[in-house]
Amino acid sequence: MESPVSLALPPRVRFPGISSAAFEHPADRAALQALRRTPGLDRLLKWMSDMGAERYLRIFFTADSIRVSPRQCSRLYNDLREACSILDVKEPDFYIMQHPVPNAFTFGMQKHTIVMTTSLIDLLNETERLEVIGHELGHIKAEHMLYRTMAIVLGTLLQELAGGMALPGAIVTRALTYALFEWFRKSELTADRAGLLTVQDADTCISGLMKLVGGSQKLMDELNTDEFVKQADLYEDMDEDLLGIYYKFVMVRWQTHPFPSVRARELKEWAQTEQYLRLLRGDYPRTNPEAGKRTCPTCGAVALNVSHRFCQECGSPLNPVGATS
């Protein structure tokens, strides 16, 4: 009896030299530009970084989690290598954390680190896990790390300070905190696109999002991605009066992620655009060579984005493009 013929999947497209501008979501770009115009914010973030938050986290995960490597959880490490090869990103550290809530996140300005919980690993299939790794690498590629590492810490601090402030100061503090979390949510849309570029299948990305909000091993084969995307339309239709708009504001103001159905629809729509198809054909913006000529005078990191005025690794001021470092 002849064995059945197996149909090998085509190899995934690689994107050597790709710039984050190729997949950056417009809402992310606009929100980040607004943040960067906030006087003194970059210096405040650098001050908080110098307080040692990143070092604290690195000590904790080194002592209380599993570090993924070629000799430790090699399948996950191979996924990391695959995603880094596709998106042309230097390999970060990678840890597995025992936790009942499915989650993954990235931190670190001096050294980038991805953390994935055991419950997320158990919930997703191999391709969905690869998408999550690509999503987290998207934050690194798009140079979100300075702001993301400190946003939650700063947001928490500002919320606590606001309670003891006079009314004008409290209003300003609240406004800054809302702006931070607004950008944080928009940055997830950019990272979602990086995840899609990694696995190159929108349904895989959406099925992973579905499992995060309603994953059950008994119902996996009954999940319908198209029906889930439709929920985003229903959610939008609930803006019919001021009360609905107010409820939405209260729900999302401190959230770090947009609602999953909204993220699913954004991905589905982007996967059908000419921009995405051009990327798969190898037609995409490369890293700006002029930006690569700048190095941080404090830590020596290469600045890959011409629009940045401060180092995304340590927060120090950068020389203008074309100036002598």
Tell how strand 93-97 and strand 66-67 pair up.
antiparallel
Question: Who contacts 15 (Cβ-Cβ below 8 Å, separation ≥6)?
Answer: 22, 86, 87, 88, 197, 279, 282, 284
Instruction: Check residue 167 and give its pLDDT.
Output: 56
Regions of the chain where pLDDT drops below 50 = 1-7, 292, 324-325
Phi, psi (degrees; rounded to nearest 5) at 68: -75, 135
Q: Give the pLDDT score at 119.
A: 95
Q: How far apart are CA 83 and CA 22, in angstroms?
A: 16
> Is the Cβ–Cβ distance between 325 and 319 less than 8 Å?
yes
Domain ranges of the chain: 20-214+224-287
Q: Give residue 31's identity as a one-letter amino acid code.
A: A
CA-wise closest residue to 109 among 197, 168, 167, 42 = 42
First to last CA, the chain: 70
Could you tell me whether strands 113-117 and 93-97 are parallel, antiparallel, or unpaired per DSSP bridges?
parallel
- Nearest of 73, 256, 78 to residue 156 by alpha carbon: 256
Contact yes or no for 53/217 (Cβ under 8 A):
no
Which tokens hold the place of 37?
Answer: 């115009």
The SS3 call for residue 106 is strand
Task: Tell me the whole-structure pTM to 2 decimals.
Answer: 0.80
